[in-house]
Structure 1
Amino acid sequence: MKSRFIEIDLLRTLAIVMMVIYHTGYDLAFFHGFDFNPLTGGWKLLARSTATLFLLLVGISFVISWERNPRFTKILKRGLTILAFGMLITFVTYFWAPETYIRFGILHMIGVSMMLLPFFRKMREFNALIGLVILLSTATILNSKFLILNSELFLPFGITPPNFLSLDYYPLLPWFGVVLIGLALGDFFYIRSKRIPKPTNRILKLLSFPGKHALIIYLIHQPIIIISLSFIFTLYKFP
Structure 2
Amino acid sequence: MTPHASRLPSVDIARGVALIGMVVFHFTFDLEMFGHLAPGTITNPYWSGFARLVAGSFVFLAGLSLILAHSDGFRARAFWRGTGLVALAALAVTVATYIAMPHMFVFFGILHIIALSRVLGLAFLRVPVWGLVTCGALVWALPYLLQFEAFNARALAWIGFAETLPLSMDLEPIFPWFGPFLLGMAAAHLLRPWLGRWRSEGGAMGRALAFAGRHSLPIYLVHQPLLIGAMWVFAQL
**TM-score normalised per structure 1:** 0.88
The C-alpha deviation readout for 1:32-51, integer Å capped at 9, x for no partner, is 34215212221111100100
Distance in 2 between residues matched to 1:201 and 1:178, nearest whole Å: 28
Q: Among 134, 154, 157, which residue is 1:155 paired with? A: 157
Unpaired stretches in structure 1, ≥5 consecutive residues: none
Q: What is the match of residue 175 of structure 1?
A: 177
Q: Give the structure with higher Rg (CA).
A: 1
The answer to whether the Cα contact below 8 Å between 1:29 and 1:35 also exists between their aligned partners in 2 is yes
Match of 2:168 among 166, 169, 191: 166
Query: Would the aligned equivalents of 1:4 and 1:197 in 2 still touch at CA under 8 Å?
Result: no
Provide the aligned C-alpha RMSD in A: 2.3
> Following TM superposition, by how much is the alpha carbon of 1:232 offset from its aligned partner in structure 2, in angstroms?
2.2
CA distance in 2, matches of 1:79, 1:221: 21
Query: Structure 2 regions of 5+ residues with no counterpart?
Result: none
Q: CA deviation at 1:74?
A: 2.8
Is the 8 Å Cα contact of residues 153 and 166 (structure 2) preserved in structure 1? Answer: no
Structure of higher RCO (CA pairs closer than 8 Å, 6+ residues apart): 2
**After the TM superposition, which segments of 4 or more aligned residues of structure 1 sit over 6 Å from their partners?**
none
The equivalent of 1:227 in structure 2 is 229
The offset of 1:69, in angstroms, is: 4.8
Q: What is the DSSP-based 3-state SS (H/G/I as helix, E as strand, rest coil) of the residue aligned with 1:164?
A: coil
Does structure 2 retain, via aligned residues, the 8 Å contact 1:6–1:208? yes
Distance in 1 (CA, whole Å) between partners of 2:160 and 2:211 is 34
Structure 2 match to 1:210 = 212
1:22-37 paired onto structure 2 within 5 Å: 22-37=25-40
CA contact (8 A) 1:152 1:161 kept: no
The TM-score, its normalising length taken from structure 2, stands at 0.89
Where 1:67 maps in the other structure, the secondary structure is coil
Instruction: Give the distance between the partners of 2:52 and 2:236, measured in 1 at CA.
Output: 32
1:99: which partner in 2?
A: 103
